Amino acid sequence: MFGIIPRETGFFDLMDEAAAVLVSAAEAYAGLAGDYGHREQYVRKIRQLEHEGDEIAHRTLEKLDQTFLTPFDREDIQALMMRMDDVIDEIDAAAKRLTLYQITDLTGWFVKQTEVLYRSSRLVSEAVNRLRNLKRPNGIQDRLVEIHRLENMGDDNNHAAVAELYCSGSDPILVMKWKEIYDLTERAIDRCEDIANAIEAILLKNT
């Protein structure tokens, strides 16, 4: 319909940048889980990535209001950017609590969940990168299916983790702390699925 007018490609760069920041945050969170002695530096790193994510989201909003023709509906671009930002916010909130609540020992479930989140974030990024080229078969759908699968796995893991926590006979205050950290981590995984849904909405309109 608007084939002659070149579509704005800067949005793809912004989306890729935001996805890369998301992957870095999830990577730092899994890094913290695997190297808990240096937790402070991972928490700082995540905090800094959270600011970068905000800044990219803000630049996108400005660009949306200055651009007449956008590659997808502007509310879909905005939703996608906001959902990516949401994941980073959850990671930041969870990571901060580990130091704030003076958690000294991690649980196996926690480590497992940070890995699920990291895998899901990479699939998100791969799907976002492929939005540039929707005409040819490009494997986006496979990635979305896998993100949904990881969300289910995260959900099951979280249920098992909380059930175990409640049976553990631990101090109730420690139980409360872990409940909150588990729930925030699971929510980060859930929100990767929200991104998958936002991408799916774009696919439905543009393929």
Q: Please identify which residue in 1, 65, 108, 135 interacts with a second copy, judged by CB under 8 A.
A: 65
- 172: contact with a second copy by CB under 8 A: yes
What number of CA atoms fall less than 13 Å from residue 127's CA on the CB side? Answer: 29
| 117 phi/psi in degrees, rounded to 5 | -65, -45
Exposure letters 67-81 (e unless 16+ CB within 10 A, then b): eeebbbebebbbbbb
Identify the residue among 62, 68, 105, 135 touching a second copy (CB under 8 A): 62
Task: State the CB neighbour count (10 A cutoff) for residue 182.
Answer: 21
Q: Select the residue interacting with a second copy from 47, 59, 96, 132 (CB under 8 A).
A: 96
Binding to a second copy by residue 187, rule CB under 8 A? no
Regarding 166 and contact with a second copy (CB under 8 A), the answer is yes
**Position among 7, 55, 73, 176 found at the interface with a second copy (CB under 8 A):** 176
Q: Does 61 bind a second copy (CB under 8 A)?
A: yes
* Signed CA dihedral, 193, 194, 195, 198: sign only: positive
Q: Does the footprint of a second copy cover residue 100 (CB under 8 A)?
A: yes
Task: Please count the residues of this chain forming the interface with a second copy, following the rule CB under 8 A.
Answer: 20
Residue whose C-alpha is closest to residue 16's, from 66, 77, 65? 77
Q: Is 40 in the site for a second copy (CB under 8 A)?
A: no
> Apex CA 127: angle with CA 125 and CA 128, to 5°?
65
Binding site for a second copy (CB under 8 A): 61-62, 65, 96, 100-102, 159, 162-163, 166, 172-173, 175-177, 179, 201, 204-205
